[in-house]
Amino acid sequence: MEDILSDWEDRINFLSDHIAELESQLQYYQNLVAEKDTLINHLTEENNSLKSQGIVNEQPITIPSVSPQEFQYDIAPQINIPPPNLHPPPDVGVSPEQSIAPSVSVDNVVNFDSGLRKRQCPQCGAQGFSIREVDDKSRLLSYLPHRIYAKKRVCIKCRNEF
């Protein structure tokens, strides 16, 4: 019987403390509302005094009908800077057609990848560290001094190989 009474007393004490806490929160919020009402009254009086002095414009604010993309901004003139020349200058007296070996067709020449472009997955569009370069064991480039394989890129997110 005493266990039940002690449990009820503990429960009553807990609820009493909770009620006191809620009453303190209620008092805090009532004070906050009173402060905000005072601020609103002060701002209303200030607005009325400015209106009487003619400082405040009475026209309502309108939303422009033109979308932001249609605005023309003239921030700074565009300067066209040519890209850096990544290829060596051709030999003097040799035309570009003669500089390539005659046995190699122009279609078989591998383009120089400068590495300036970001690595991007063609399937999901992931960039940067989501793309890994791994050895392509199906394409052996050299046996000596050790086996050298071609590289292929693999997207970590979608597992696409390209």
| Tens of pLDDT, residues 87-96 | 666 666 655 5
Q: Does residue 38 carry a pLDDT above 90?
A: yes
Confidence of residue 73 (pLDDT cuts 50, 70, 90): low
Residues 45-72: tens digit of each pLDDT: 988 888 888 766 666 767 767 666 666 6
Q: Please state, in angstroms and rounded to a whole number, the distance separating the CA atoms of residues 53 and 102.
A: 89
Q: Nearest to residue 42, comparing CAs of 31, 34, 30? A: 34
- pTM reported for the whole predicted model: 0.31
More confident residue, 160 or 79: 160
Residue 13, both tokens? 């004490």
The band of 7, judged by pLDDT with boundaries at 50, 70 and 90, is: confident
Query: Averaged over 124-140, what is the pLDDT?
Result: 91
Question: pLDDT tens for residues 10-20?
Answer: 899 999 999 99
- pLDDT recorded at residue 157: 92
Return the exposure string of 109-143: e unless at least 16 CB atoms fall within 10 Å of the residue's CB, then b.
Answer: eeeeeeeeeebbbeeeebeeebbeeeeeeeeeeee
CA distance 132 to 121: 10
Q: Any idea which residue has 């009474």 for tokens?
A: 5
Give pLDDT tens digits for 93-120.
655 555 555 554 555 545 555 555 678 8
Give the residue-averaged pLDDT of 5-11.
Answer: 87
